[in-house]
Amino acid sequence: MEKVDIIIIGAGIAGITSAYYLQKKFPKLNYKIIESRSDLGGTWDQMTFPGVRSDSDMYTYGFSFNPWKGKIIGEGKDIKKYLVDTAEKFDIKKRILFNTQVNSLNWSDNQWTIKTDGKDFTSDHVICCTGSRDYKAPNFPKFEGENLYKGKIIHTQSWGNEDFKNKHVAIVGSGCTAVTMAPAVIKEAKSVTLIQRSPAWIINVDSQEKSNRLYKTFETLIDYFHSRIFKKSYKKKIIAKYPYYNDTNVPSYNFWDQRPACSLDNDYFNSVNLDKVTIEHQGISNWEPTGVKLMNGKIINSDLTIMATGLNAQLLGGMSIFIDNNKVNINETSWYRGMMFSGVPNLFAHTGYINFSWTARCEIVSERICKTIDYMNKKNFISCTPKYLGKKSKPAIEANYVLRSMDKFPNRSYKFNNANYLAEYISFKWTRINDRALNFK
């Protein structure tokens, strides 16, 4: 068993950010990143569906320590390259152990034992950068008669090299993924039916827009607060701005309850107006040999059905966590600052925002983790454990994918404001590490 100071699990945006801040603060630190995939990038290594790109502006989605130099919205393959380049530039890539799945973590004798499907490790701290979704099982709604369908069904999370040229295609789903991929599929397919049971908010972004990180931070957050305070008038403003919205496709939820999907240079708005495109605002009843049957009885004939139905939330990469060999039920913990769990020592975990760039939160959390470890080193503390604050019913994040999986999340969060980057920025940067919510030993 190899001993290292810190283990990072996951080599996506959070893993790279954690590594950057750790080695900046502790240049002599012996750390390792364990990654189950064969390459780095996480989401941006896995997601290869047509048209895949960011929804956030890249000024805030890029790292502050290696600013993005491309256009405001990044294409998937360019984001992946940017992550690889960043990891190479800061000598992070050589620390990654690829093709290794972490199965469990056990805290005992003041250290973590990390069990993988290869070599095992021990470390003083573990930082989970495992993302927010189940990599193996996306949200794949099941309907009766799936085996009758003579066409092909594919989920965007496991896109291979699917050919849709001159095919009749159905895209199920209305979120960011469906909106992003639709124009690319429409371009080449013979016909496309978009099956959107519940429409999503879509806004346009001008690909030529030039801006900077500070401006975009304030613009996005002011826009967010405006939409939360003046919910009705904000909705009206969006509906008035885009002729696309009509009686059938105004979302039932408020703007920014979920990250709005973006149409780039009106690509979505223009392509759905083509004759070969139909939009159905209906749920699915069942599969038929030629396609799906909608709740209103209409059958959507297709050669290929693309499920753009989103993700299944998963914290901590599906790993089992043990304290002295006793399994921890994360649903019975409190979530401290959205980065630690009550009763679980020296385990940090990243999560992001739905209303702001994920990377921005990774950076402030990484800095806070470094400060916490530094504080512990200076005071000779071995462990740091958040206190349990008792149960509360409100979920920490109210996105659909979290509401679907509430039992996998802590039942209460504290000192955590997932909807407010500015509040967290101030709190993470300028409040005491020993903030009475942590027990140090």
Strands 320-323 and 334-336, bridge-based pairing? unpaired
- Rg of the chain taking only CA atoms, in angstroms: 23
In this chain, which of 102, 169, 384, 402 binds ligand FAD, going by CB under 6 A? 102
Phi, psi of 379 (to 5 degrees): -95, 5
Cα separation, 267 vs 259, in Å, equals 18
Residue 183: its H or E element = helix 176-188
Amino acid found at 206: D
Please, is 245 exposed, middle or buried when counting C-beta atoms within 10 Å of its C-beta (0-12, 13-18, 19+)?
middle
If you search the block for the tokens 């050669």, which residue do you land on?
303
Instruction: For residue 66, state whether it binds ligand FAD (rule: CB under 6 A).
Output: no
Residue whose CB is less far from ligand FAD, 160 or 243: 160
Minimum Å gap between C-beta 264 and ligand FAD is 12
Amino acid found at 251: P
Cα separation, 57 vs 360, in Å, equals 12
Q: Segment near ligand FAD (CB under 6 A), from 5-13, 220-228, 385-393, 402-410? A: 5-13
Residue whose CB is less far from ligand FAD, 13 or 306: 13
User: Which pair of tokens denotes residue 269?
Assistant: 């708005």
In this chain, which of 35, 257, 280, 424 binds ligand FAD, going by CB under 6 A? 35
Residue 400: its H or E element = helix 400-403
Minimum Å gap between C-beta 415 and ligand FAD is 20
Amino acid found at 91: D
Instruction: For residue 317, state whether it binds ligand FAD (rule: CB under 6 A).
Output: yes
Cα separation, 419 vs 322, in Å, equals 30
Residue whose CB is less far from ligand FAD, 40 or 389: 40
How far separated are the first and last CA of the chain, in Å rounded?
25
Site string for ligand FAD, 109-148 (x = CB under 6 A): --------------------xxx---x-------------
Residue numbers 347-386 binding ligand FAD by CB under 6 A: 350, 352, 357-358
In the chain, how many H helices and how many E strands?
11, 24
Q: Segment near ligand FAD (CB under 6 A), from 6-14, 193-201, 377-385, 418-426? A: 6-14
Residue numbers 238-297 binding ligand FAD by CB under 6 A: none
Residue whose CB is less far from ligand FAD, 288 or 398: 398
Site string for ligand FAD, 149-188 (x = CB under 6 A): ----------------------------x-----------
Residue whose CB is less far from ligand FAD, 64 or 431: 64
Residues forming the site for ligand FAD (CB under 6 A): 9-15, 34-37, 42-43, 47, 52, 54-56, 61, 101-102, 129-131, 135, 177, 317-319, 350, 352, 357-358
